[in-house]
């Protein structure tokens, strides 16, 4: 019979394996993913579609950091805000719940973690809540979308831009092809409204990469899943042509 010391060692080893499994080591092939999508949305457009915000922010905010395949990869790995207490000040600024600013904002973060973060956790660099949200904030600050657009003179305006203005600026700065999504014209409107910009990163080293590659084929299920975040807000990939970049709405007091 094994000695108490050996039994303790075996028990510890077993618990360690269990933790690895719970933290994302036990992935099925159906959850394998190839790239991460840093999705940022423009609050005035989100508020326009939702018709629920009294005021809107005047800078691009994080919608999420999404693996390109899979969701809710570990339903037993629940969100715990205590794990990211030190990040909350930045989260409130850069990753707010745009549509429900006065509600319990942790519900939005909980959704992003349980739907997307538990899949991203396949990667060692993202295999905890703290790492997932911390790296998301770091990538957001790294690409610095707000400053980049201003550098090219692209700022909210009552005048229209061309979607090529955004594509050219993004490609010149980042050296990769992004995905830009718009809210189609509504009612008497003539022009689409920019709403969301996706920048993609490699799984191996989190370097910027094209969001789509020549000849890259996605299954219908993947296409539907990737479009879900935008479609939930009524958005679709922008068409070539004029685009409205709306200034933020401010309620008079």
Instruction: State yes or no: is 71 an active-site residue.
Output: no
- Three-state SS at 219: coil
Report pLDDT digits (tens) over 110-165. 999 999 999 999 999 999 999 999 999 999 999 999 999 999 999 999 999 999 99
> Which residue segment(s) compose the domain that 81 sits in?
33-244
| Catalytic residue, candidates 31, 41, 49, 63 | 63
Residue 167 lies in a domain: yes
| Catalytic residue, candidates 41, 49, 116, 129 | 116
Residue 205 lies in a domain: yes
Q: Which residues pair with 181 in a beta bridge?
A: 196, 237
Residue 146 lies in a domain: yes
Give the pLDDT score at 25: 40
- Give which of 242, 173, 249, 166 is closest to 208, Cα–Cα: 173
Q: Which residues pair with 182 in a beta bridge?
A: 194, 236
Residue 66 has pLDDT above 70, yes or no: yes
Report pLDDT digits (tens) over 188-241. 889 999 999 999 999 999 999 999 876 555 555 555 545 555 555 589 999 999
| Catalytic residue, candidates 31, 41, 112, 198 | 112
Residue 16 lies in a domain: no
Residue 170 lies in a domain: yes
Q: Give percent above pLDDT 70 in the chain.
A: 77
Instruction: State yes or no: is 116 an active-site residue.
Output: yes
What is d(CA 93, CA 204) in angstroms, rounded to the nearest whole number? 29
pTM above 0.85, yes or no: no
- Give the CATH number for residue 52: 3.90.730.10
Residue 136 lies in a domain: yes
Write down the mean pLDDT value for the chain: 83
Question: What is each CA distance from 155 to 55, 119, 134, 143, 199, in whole angstroms?
Answer: 18, 35, 28, 17, 19
With tokens 């709403």, the residue in question is 195
Residue 20 lies in a domain: no
Contact 12, 25 (CB under 8 A): no
Buried b or exposed e, range 18-42, using 16+ CB within 10 angstroms = eeeeeebeebeeebebebbbbbbbb
Residue 249 lies in a domain: no
Contact 109, 130 (CB under 8 A): no
Better pLDDT: 82 or 221: 82
Instruction: State yes or no: is 189 an active-site residue.
Output: no
Give the pLDDT score at 200: 98
What is d(CA 69, CA 50) in angstroms, rounded to the nearest whole number? 26
What is d(CA 76, CA 118) in angstroms, rounded to the nearest whole number? 10
Give the pLDDT score at 251: 46
Cα 75 to its chain centre, rounded Å, is 19
Domain count, the chain: 1
Question: What is each CA distance from 185 to 41, 157, 180, 188, 196, in whole angstroms?
Answer: 18, 17, 16, 8, 15
Give the pLDDT score at 59: 97
């Amino acid at each position: 019979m094994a000695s108490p010391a050996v039994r303790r060692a075996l028990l510890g080893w077993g618990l360690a394996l269990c933790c690895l499994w719970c933290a994302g080591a036990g992935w099925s092939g159906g959850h394998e993913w190839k790239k991460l999508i840093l999705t940022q949305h423009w609050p005035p457009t989100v508020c326009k579609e939702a018709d629920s915000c009294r005021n809107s922010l005047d800078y691009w905010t994080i919608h999420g950091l999404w693996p390109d395949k899979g969701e809710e990869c570990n339903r037993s790995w629940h969100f715990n805000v205590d794990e990211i207490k030190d990040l909350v000040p930045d989260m409130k600024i850069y990753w707010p719940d745009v549509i429900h600013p006065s509600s319990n904002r942790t519900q939005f973060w909980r959704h992003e973690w349980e739907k997307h973060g538990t899949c991203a956790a396949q990667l060692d660099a993202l295999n905890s809540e703290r790492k997932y949200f911390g790296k998301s904030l770091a990538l957001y600050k790294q690409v610095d979308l707000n400053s980049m657009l201003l550098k090219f003179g692209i700022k909210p305006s009552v005048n229209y831009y061309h979607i090529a203005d955004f594509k050219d600026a993004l490609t010149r700065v980042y050296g990769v092809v992004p995905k830009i999504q718009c809210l189609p014209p509504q009612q008497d409107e003539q022009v689409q409204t920019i709403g969301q910009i996706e920048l993609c990163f490699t799984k191996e080293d989190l370097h910027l990469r094209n969001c789509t590659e020549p000849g890259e084929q996605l299954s219908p299920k993947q296409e539907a899943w990737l479009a879900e975040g935008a479609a939930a807000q009524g958005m679709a990939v922008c068409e070539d042509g004029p685009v409205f970049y709306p200034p933020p709405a401010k309620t008079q007091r």
